[in-house]
Amino acid sequence: MTSVDFSTYQAVEVVRDGPVVTVAFNRPAQLNAIDRDVHHELESLFVDIERDDETKLAILTGTGRAFSAGGDINWLLELNADPVASARAIKGDRVIQNALLSMETPLIAKVNGPAVGLGCSMALFCDIVVATPEAVFADPHVSVGLVAGDGGALLWPQLIGYARARRYLFTGEPITGTVAAELGLITETANAEDLDGVVKEWAQKLLAQPEHALRWTKVSINAGLRVIANAVLDSAAGFENVTQLMDTHRQALLALQRRQSSRG
pLDDT bucket at 260, cuts 50 / 70 / 90? confident
- For residue 41, what pLDDT is reported? 98
Instruction: Please name the residues in contact with 217: beta carbons below 8 A apart, sequence gap of 6 or more.
Output: none
Residue 12 in this model has a pLDDT that exceeds 70: yes
- For residue 150, what pLDDT is reported? 87
Q: How far apart are CA 126 and CA 95, in angstroms?
A: 16
- Average pLDDT for residues 50-58, to the nearest whole number? 97
pLDDT bucket at 142, cuts 50 / 70 / 90? very high
Adjacency order of strands within the sheet including 115-116: 115-116, 136-138, 175-176
Cα atoms found within 13 Å of the Cα of residue 66, Cβ hemisphere only: 21
Q: What is the 3-state composition of the chain as percent helix, strand, coil, each rounded to the nearest 5?
A: 60, 15, 25
Residue 139 in this model has a pLDDT that exceeds 70: yes
Residue 62 in this model has a pLDDT that exceeds 70: yes
> pTM value?
0.96
Higher pLDDT, 263 or 145: 145
Tens digit of each residue's pLDDT (9 = 90 or more) over 30-41:
999 999 999 999
Tens digit of each residue's pLDDT (9 = 90 or more) over 226-235:
999 988 988 9
Residue 259 in this model has a pLDDT that exceeds 90: no
pLDDT bucket at 28, cuts 50 / 70 / 90? very high
Residue 111 in this model has a pLDDT that exceeds 90: yes
- For residue 220, what pLDDT is reported? 97
- Fold classified for 6-263: 2-enoyl-CoA Hydratase; Chain A, domain 1 (3.90.226)
Domain regions of the chain by residue span: 6-263
Instruction: Please name the residues in contact with 111: beta carbons below 8 A apart, sequence gap of 6 or more.
Output: 61, 62, 67, 123, 129, 130, 131, 132, 135, 137, 177, 186
Residue burial 72-90, b: 16+ Cβ < 10 Å; e: rest:
bbebbbebbeeeeebbebb
Mean pLDDT taken over the chain: 96
Percent of the chain with pLDDT over 90: 94
pLDDT bucket at 185, cuts 50 / 70 / 90? very high
- For residue 264, what pLDDT is reported? 62
Residue 69 in this model has a pLDDT that exceeds 90: yes
